[in-house]
Amino acid sequence: MDVDAFVVAHRDTWKRLDELVKRRRELSGAEIDELVELYQRVSTHLSMVRSASTDSVLVGRLSTLVARARSAVTGAHAPLWREFARFWTVSFPVVAYRAWRWWLATAVLFFAVVLAIGFWVAGSHEVQSALSTPAEIEQLVNHDFASYYSENPAGSFALQVWVNNSWVAAQCIAFSILLGIPIPWVLFQNAANLGVIGGLMFQAGKADVLFGLLIPHGLLELSAVFLAGAVGMRLGWTVIAPGERPRGQVLAEQGRAVVAAAVGLVVVLLVSGLIEAMVTPSPLPTFMRIGIGLAAEAGFLAYVIYFGRRAVRAGETGDIEDAPDVVPTR
């Protein structure tokens, strides 16, 4: 081996590793990944130099560099609180933010179905008669719809709501393995149900009751369901159109990102369920209940936009495998 040529060929790599080691407490996620990769590469260089050269100065220099890099890479594993913080400031919001086009399209189409079916039901007595008897419709709009939110203890109702909503979101994510094809049907069923109830409440002059009971929790709840559908369909589309990279690699990355979304949505739906159990049936004035719902929705969207945009600019994808397992140390 021509040692001089070898040094010239790899000098920049060694210099870059030395720079990263010196800045180990200030590295971004991408730079930490680079540090690990260069450490492995330079370790190979050291083995090659040891076996092919008697230049003790070069061997010593590379040995010192590799030792310092090893210390930086394996010095300390990330504590649980750091992993927890990274999940909520990077992994989850960046997945939601990167899926914003799918998320928005899902919401628009969902509400288009709700409005179409709602106007159809409200404006057609034939449709109403086909759905149920006049007595049953009157029971629904004057009693059952409102009592649904208050007939059970708040704690058990919150748990029931959380489980039901999580099941819908889980279906949307699970169906991604079928190219996301069943997801529109799951969302359509929920949109149709909401449209039917909305149409019946409107034709009975109960729009104020409808909005007063749906908006407090419904905005956040539906946003979570839309996001679940969006990431699930996006994963399905990845299988169909992976781009220039290998399909398996892209699918694995997106699949791990979907896992991050699923974990985050469990908590979002828990918050929604608590609002539905504690705020929706409360004696608070309607405007206050709606205000709480709007504040929760605005807070969630602001959180996704702020942390998601910041993570995208840092080159994050939401792939949980990319999360550094170590904390560089001096």
Measured from the Cβ of residue 287, the count of other Cβ atoms closer than 10 Å reads: 9
What mean pLDDT comes out for the span 117-145?
A: 88
> pLDDT by residue (tens digit) across 261-302?
888 998 998 899 889 888 888 888 989 999 999 999 999 999
How confident is the model at residue 195, as a pLDDT? Answer: 93
Q: Which residues have a Cβ under 8 Å from the Cβ of 197 and sit 6 or more positions away?
A: 140, 145, 210
| pLDDT confidence of residue 321 | 44
Q: What confidence tier does 306 reach under pLDDT thresholds 50, 70, 90?
A: very high
The confidence score (pLDDT) of residue 311 equals 87
Average pLDDT, the chain: 82
pLDDT in tens, 159-217: 666 677 777 777 777 777 777 788 899 899 989 989 999 999 998 888 888 898 889 99
Question: In this predicted model, which residue has the larger pLDDT, 323 or 303?
Answer: 303
pLDDT at 143 over 90: no
Buried-exposed string 28-50: b where 16+ CB fall within 10 A, e elsewhere: ebebbeebbebbeebeebbeebe
Q: What pLDDT score was predicted for residue 106?
A: 94
From the number of C-beta atoms within 10 Å of its C-beta (0-12, 13-18, 19+), residue 2 rates as exposed
For residue 305, pLDDT over 60 is answered with yes
DSSP letters spanning 214-238: HHHHHHHHHHHHHHHHHHHHHHHHH
What are the residue boundaries of the structural domains of the chain, listed by start? 3-74, 83-321
Binned at pLDDT 50, 70 and 90, residue 100 comes out as: very high
pTM of the complete model: 0.70
Q: Which residue has the higher pLDDT, 122 or 75?
A: 122
